[in-house]
Structure 1
Amino acid sequence: MSEILIKAVQLVLSLSILIVLHEMGHFIPAKIFKTRVEKFFLFFDVKFALLKTKIGETVYGIGWLPLGGYVKISGMIDESMDKEQMSQPPQPWEFRSKPAWQRLIIMIGGVTVNLLLGFFIYAMVLFVWGSNELSNNAFPNGFNVAEELEQYGFRDGDKVLEVDGETPSNILDVSRLLVVRGVEEVKVQHADNTVEVLKLPDTLGTHLYVSGALRPFEPRVDAILDSIFPGDPADIAGLQKNDRVVSVNGTAITFWDEFTKVIKSNQGTPIDLVIERNNSTDTLSVTPKDQKIGVRPLFDFSNVIQKKEYSLAEAIPAGITFGYWTLMDYASSMKFLFTKKGATEVGGFGTIAKLFPDSWDWQGFWLSTAFLSIILAFMNILPIPALDGGHVMFLLYEMITGRKPSEKFLEYAQMVGFFILIALLLYANGNDIYKAIFK
Structure 2
Amino acid sequence: MEFVIRISQFLLSLSLLIVLHELGHFIPAKAFKTRVEKFYLFFDIKFSLFKKKIGETVYGIGWLPLGGYVKIAGMIDESMDKEQMAQPAQPWEFRSKPAWQRLIIMLGGVTVNFILAYVIYVFIAFVYGDKTVKVSSLEDGYWVENKILTDIGFKTGDKVLKVNDLEVVNDYDVRSNIIGAESITISRNGKEEKIQLPEDFLGQLSSSDDRSLFERRIPFMVGVISDSSQNKSADIKVEDIITKIDGKPLRYFDQLDSLMTDYKNENVDVELLRGEETITRQLKVDEKGRFGFRPAIDDDRFAELGYYDIATKTYTFGESFGAGAHDFVDTLKKYGAQLKAIFNPSTGAYKGVGGFKAIYSIFPSVWSWQAFWVLTAFLSIMLGVLNLLPIPALDGGHVMFLLYEMISGRKPSEKFLERAQLVGFVILITLVLFANLNDWI
Any idea what SS the aligned residue of 2:59 has?
A: strand
TM-score (norm 1): 0.76
AA of the residue aligned to 2:425: F
Contact 2:38 2:70 in 1 (8 A): yes
Q: How many angstroms apart in 2 are the aligned matches of 1:196 and 1:132?
A: 29
Contact 2:243 2:250 in 1 (8 A): no
Compute the displacement of 1:331 (Å).
3.8
Which residue is 1:380 aligned to?
387
Q: How many angstroms apart in 2 are the aligned matches of 1:193 and 1:342?
A: 37
Q: Deviations over 1:323-363 (max 9, x none)?
A: 23323333433445868895476232x44333434444332
Compute the displacement of 1:135 (Å).
0.6
Q: How many angstroms apart in 2 are the aligned matches of 1:336 and 1:87?
A: 40
Q: Deviations over 1:39-69 (max 9, x none)?
A: 33333444555232333xx314113334332
Compute the displacement of 1:309 (Å).
0.9
Q: How many angstroms apart in 2 are the aligned matches of 1:206 and 1:74?
A: 44
Q: How many angstroms apart in 1 are the aligned matches of 2:46 and 2:296?
A: 55
Contact 2:245 2:259 in 1 (8 A): no
Compute the displacement of 1:128 (Å).
1.2
Q: How many angstroms apart in 1 are the aligned matches of 2:15 and 2:373?
A: 13
Which residue is 1:215 aligned to?
212
Q: How many angstroms apart in 2 are the aligned matches of 1:108 and 1:158?
A: 47
Moved more, 216-225 or 316-325: 216-225
Compute the displacement of 1:121 (Å).
0.7
Contact 2:5 2:366 in 1 (8 A): yes
Q: Deviations over 1:69-93 (max 9, x none)?
A: 2222222101222212211233344
Q: Which runs of 5+ in 2 are unaligned?
A: 273-278, 304-309
Contact 2:21 2:110 in 1 (8 A): yes
Compute the displacement of 1:187 (Å).
4.4
Alpha-carbon spacing, 1:387–1:259, altered in 2? closer, same or farther (3 Å):
same
Q: How many angstroms apart in 1 are the aligned matches of 2:317 and 2:241?
A: 43
Which residue is 1:38 aligned to?
37
Q: Deviations over 1:353-404 (max 9, x none)?
A: 3343444433233222212211211221222221112212222333444443
Compute the displacement of 1:185 (Å).
4.7
Any idea what SS the aligned residue of 1:156 has?
A: coil
Alpha-carbon spacing, 1:293–1:209, altered in 2? closer, same or farther (3 Å):
farther
Q: Which runs of 5+ in 1 are unaligned?
A: none
Which residue is 2:119 aligned to?
120
Answer yes or no: is 1:370 the counterpart of 2:397.
Answer: no
Answer yes or no: is 1:316 the counterpart of 2:316.
Answer: no
Which residue is 1:111 aligned to?
110
AA of the residue aligned to 2:216: P
AA of the residue aligned to 1:375: M
Task: State which of 340, 347, 354 in structure 1 corresponds to 2:355.
Answer: 347
Compute the displacement of 1:109 (Å).
1.4
Moved more, 278-287 or 124-133: 278-287
Which residue is 1:5 aligned to?
4
Q: Deviations over 1:125-152 (max 9, x none)?
A: 1111112211125422211335544576
Contact 2:245 2:271 in 1 (8 A): no
Contact 2:401 2:412 in 1 (8 A): yes
Compute the displacement of 1:37 (Å).
3.0
TM-score (norm 2): 0.76
Q: Deviations over 1:93-120 (max 9, x none)?
A: 4322333333222211111110121111
Q: How many angstroms apart in 2 are the aligned matches of 1:359 and 1:282?
A: 30
Alpha-carbon spacing, 1:329–1:341, altered in 2? closer, same or farther (3 Å):
closer
Matches within 5 A, 1:420-439: 420-422=427-429, 424-425=431-432
Contact 1:48 1:63 in 2 (8 A): no
Task: State which of 381, 402, 405 in structure 1 corresponds to 2:412.
Answer: 405
Matches within 5 A, 1:80-229: 80-146=79-145, 148-149=148-149, 154-168=154-168, 170-178=170-178, 181-190=179-188, 192-196=189-193, 200=197, 203-211=200-208, 214-221=211-218, 229=226
Any idea what SS the aligned residue of 2:177 has?
A: helix
Answer yes or no: is 1:306 the counterpart of 2:304.
Answer: no
Percent identity, aligned pairs only?
45
Answer yes or no: is 1:25 the counterpart of 2:9.
Answer: no
Contact 1:188 1:197 in 2 (8 A): yes
Q: How many angstroms apart in 2 are the aligned matches of 1:12 and 1:172?
A: 27
Q: Deviations over 1:378-437 (max 9, x none)?
A: 2212222211122122223334444433211221222333344445556656676x68xx
Which residue is 1:329 aligned to?
334
Alpha-carbon spacing, 1:261–1:82, altered in 2? closer, same or farther (3 Å):
farther
Over the aligned positions, Cα root-mean-square deviation in angstroms equals: 4.2
Q: How many angstroms apart in 2 are the aligned matches of 1:358 and 1:427?
A: 26
Alpha-carbon spacing, 1:261–1:326, altered in 2? closer, same or farther (3 Å):
farther
Task: State which of 62, 65, 83 in structure 2 corresponds to 1:64.
Answer: 62
Alpha-carbon spacing, 1:174–1:301, altered in 2? closer, same or farther (3 Å):
same
Which residue is 2:77 aligned to?
78
Contact 1:46 1:63 in 2 (8 A): no
Q: How many angstroms apart in 2 are the aligned matches of 1:123 and 1:52?
A: 35
Contact 1:104 1:395 in 2 (8 A): yes
Q: How many angstroms apart in 2 are the aligned matches of 1:274 and 1:101?
A: 75
Contact 2:106 2:398 in 1 (8 A): yes
Any idea what SS the aligned residue of 1:409 has?
A: helix
Contact 1:44 1:69 in 2 (8 A): yes
AA of the residue aligned to 1:51: K
Corresponding pairs, count:
417
Q: How many angstroms apart in 2 are the aligned matches of 1:431 and 1:199?
A: 28
Alpha-carbon spacing, 1:253–1:45, altered in 2? closer, same or farther (3 Å):
closer
